[in-house]
Structure 1
Amino acid sequence: MNQYRGRMIASSTVIVVVCLWNFIFYVILKNQPYWKIDFLFTLAIVIIAWWLGMYYDRSKHYLQRIKLSEQRFRKLSTEMNHVLTHIQDVVFQTDSTGKISYLNHAWEKLTGYTVNESTHSIIYHFIPFDNKEEVQKKMKECVKNNVEHTRFEVSYKKKDGGKFWGMIHLTFYYNEYGVFEGTVGTITDITERVYAEEELIEMNEHLAIQSQKLAIAGQLAAGIAHEVRNPLTSINGFLQLIYREGREDRQYFQIIFDEIKRIEVVLSELLMLAKPQAIYFQEVNVVEVVQQVVTFTQSNATLHNINIEFINKGNDIYILCDENQLKQVFINLIKNSIEAMNNGGNILVTSYRKNGQAVITIEDEGMGMTDEQIEKLGEPFFTTKEKGTGLGMTVCLRIIKDHQGQLHVKSVPGKGTKISISIPVTDSVLVNQDRIIVT
């Protein structure tokens, strides 16, 4: 009945008023009645009263619905604010220029900046300079192509100077004409995951280095056996000569001692290669390091009818390096040159100083590489060998990068390859993170 209350009250009121008016007009004032006109007039007034009552009832109903909607909206808004306040991910909104219009409180916990001081700031302000250009470029491409959703990883600056890694899930919204108006998105803290991945990569690279060392040691076993067998033959022969003839010639003993020392040097180099070593940077004469590697690998090269020649174009060159790791690089590259020459040939190793850099070049007469193969050098598990692991060059590039060096490759298919390694000398400040430069 409540939904008809207005109509009933209005109609009843009109009927009472009309009856009272008729009583006064016809009974008390004794006017002559006009029943048709009075009936039509009364009917019209009742209809108008009924319509006004209906309008009132509908208005009251709509007001009740609006009130209920407001209550639901306030409840939903409170629940949404509760969720946004306690959610761990950052929720944000920006306009078309990248200006922040909304942030939840997770932003304060993650960055150290308050919501008030961050709102109305440009979102790119919180991205480190070296990543800012890349993010802006990606955003422009998404807007240009009318992309609706995207996600990517980026580092953010904290108020205390630190940084964290965030996974951004971004939604772009446009107006009815397709014009970009802004973004809504979330930022998830993935710092622990990124650091865990970096640690895993570093561990894998370390294991790859050790595996590569053992693999090279196995491949050089034939050469090592050859190097050890010759001194042992000399020692055996001179000992038999001394025993049979009863001679005590000091010259024979000196030869025996020299051969034993030669065995010791060869085995020490092999153990140094295979045994895991702690990374320790110290000032080292790189010329001596290269000379030792050439001597060490010559025996293996001889088995393949290959001659290795070393030329130092200058004085001693000192660099800060981990000697064992640097030997690993030179051995890997010389070994690659040996394997690239199936029909024998020559390998030329040179060292010189240029523009504050110690430059070591390894040039062979092997099969060479195409530009496409050079571009893929350093990619894990990419190899031009049938039985290669594809880790050797990856390990070399990692070590060279740790030494702030560069690796240049020049190759002609069918004619050979020339690899140049440049590492800053101890009095140079040059730092370059490039891993491969194709010339």
Structure 2
Amino acid sequence: MDTADKKSGPGGRRVSSIERILGRIDDLDSTNLAILVQRLARERALFEMLFNTIDEGIIVIDDAGTVEYANSAGMRMVGLRANETGTAVLWKLVPDLARSLNFLPGGEDTLAPNITRDAEVFYPEHRWLRLQFSRIPLPEKKTAPARFVVILRDITADKNSTEEMIESERVNSIFTLAASVAHEIGNPLNSMKIHLELIRRKLEKTTLPEKAAGTVKNSLGVCLEEISRLDEILKNFLGAIRPQKPALARTNLLEVVLDVLGVQKAELENRNIRCSMTQVSKELPVVLGDVSQLKQLVFNVTKNAMEAMQDGGSIAIETDCDDAFVFLRVKDTGCGISRDDISKIYEPFFTTKDNGHGLGMMIVMRIMREHGGQVGIDSEPGKGTTVTLQFPKPEARARMLPSAGKS
């Protein structure tokens, strides 16, 4: 750098050679002006390249919320197209983001000079962003409009990891509690069963009038059957919430869905619900899965769909495939789910139903994670809900298994 580059301007700020040249631009001839333009173009291209290689989103807005600049990551995070820079308004583009910053029409006066917080946004897709919001210092001309820089970091993976850990702890706590309760209930049931069996044996050796003996035997039989049923309910309950390693095998999801719908056929008819099934992709929806767990998974999702429709309706089930994943979508025309409830839907014992136990979707999430998959929910109150189950294809799942086994 030459000595001229070290000169300082107002406030001790270093003045660049380009700024000095711009200060006397009227004195430049065409040759020097062309050199200056080329140099400015090179520097602009360099800065564009640097900003576009950064993972964080960088967005500059004016005091009206209009986006003046956004790097590639920033445009991707807020769903901004290149030709919208200079016209798109932040609070219209991503209302969730603007609300988290309190950057709404007339809201500039309430803005703190520097803000750092986490925000949940739903456009262009559901994700968590860590925001750093700062007012850009004004240049020497104090009348220049205020500008702000928003730095966005996608922390969705970190959030999901934390939530998975919390959920795992919840499930373990619930299982410990359930196992304790089942033990306390199971012991008296076993004792009752043993004593009823003893009574039945003694009854067989006792002479009683035929009618009385028949009545007592029938009552004993009913008691024993109900005890066995309660014991089976306890076992199924523990089996449902207990973390279990799936016995993976190549499984056609179509066959799983058809088996479940066969079991639910009578209930669908009683509820006056039409059910359709479509295979969108020509490729068969084959996954590496545990058939028993997959049936429970589909049963829980379709059961929820049925219970969301009190006066009849329809359920549309679709299977689809792309290069990496197999999808199973269950769409209903039920009451829908509010955004607040969707955020709680996987929590143990959370339910909006009068007779719900609040474990169904928790079990769905657990099974999907054990199969390396994900659950997505898209819902609008009064219009219905779509649950999307995303499974890795068998080839991708097979590549994942060795590393999973080492961890």
TM-score bucket of the superposed structures, by smaller chain: 0.3 to 0.5
The structure with the larger Rg is 1
Q: TM-score, normalised by structure 1?
A: 0.40
